[in-house]
Amino acid sequence: MKDSKITVYVVEDDPSIRFGLEEILNGEGFEVHSCETGGNAIEGIGETLPDLILLDVMLPEKSGYEIAKELRKNGSRIPVLMLTARGQEMDKVIGLNSGADDYVTKPFGVNELLARINALLRRTQDWGRPSVEADSAEDSVMIFGDAEIDRNTYEARIAGEVHPLTPREMELICFIHQHRGVVLTRDRLLEEVWGVKYFGTTRTLDQCIAQVRKKIGDEGRTPKYLLTVHGVGYKMAQEVVASE
């Protein structure tokens, strides 16, 4: 079982389609959150900060086009796969110009949907790689006591166990590691790593921090490497070295 799951947020007003998508995605190992109206979408996405959004076009209260525009206006880089019942070229162009990264036309097959989701997730991982991959083999591994994180394989290794890191977890730990000793506010981490200026809560960030700590054995009441600055955010200990 994976230590953490890639999160998908579904915005779809048709209950049968929404429940079907949730069942398919859960079956593929994704963590799924959803809502049924455009009016609740921005708040729900802000609270969840997913890795990918499935966004219907025709929604109550606010259209998928409007939601995509608002997300991009707020600085969000979360990939958006638009679900549309309209097959005309102009409708697809409007969606892409609104900020969607790709689209799939209803009715769609499960294999096509999953292929487009995985393609977008690979593209997102590629976006993050220039900032996380090392220039040399010597710099490719970050050491945290008995644990190490490999920038090139997206893995944490400790006590003979290997824990895969999601692209988001890797980008987060690399960004904090690059700013060792500097207190990073939650707002800055959300903007730099998730690319969002709007958010409802910091729960997703805190959960991501907890997952990374777990994978490098830095759990407990007094973490040694990934430190909490209460009321502000997080920082990496200035001295991060291998244990003797």
- Domains of the chain and CATH, by start: 7-130 (3.40.50.2300), 133-236 (1.10.10.10)
Give the per-residue pLDDT at 240.
62
CB 68 within 8 A of CB 54: no
pLDDT, mean of residues 18-35: 95
Binning pLDDT at 50, 70 and 90, where does residue 225 land? very high
**Chain centre distance of CA 193:** 8
CA quadruple 189, 194, 195, 197: dihedral sign: negative
Q: Give the confidence band of 241 by pLDDT, cuts at 50, 70, 90.
A: low
Structure confidence at residue 200 as a pLDDT band (50, 70, 90): low
| Mean pLDDT computed over 127-147 | 63
**What is the C-alpha to C-alpha distance for residues 230 and 168, in angstroms, rounded to an integer?**
23
Beta strands in the chain (DSSP E): 7-11, 31-35, 52-56, 80-84, 102-105, 141-144, 147-150, 155-158, 161-164, 184-185, 226-229, 233-236
Q: What is the mean pLDDT of residues 187-203?
A: 73
Q: Assess whether pLDDT exceeds 80 at residue 155.
A: yes
In angstroms, the CA 105 to CA 37 distance is 19
More confident residue, 96 or 1: 96
| pLDDT for the residue numbered 28 | 94
pTM over 0.85: no
CA distance 112 to 165: 26
**H-type helices in 99-185, by residue range?**
110-132, 167-178
The string of pLDDT tens digits covering residues 10-22 is 999 999 999 999 9
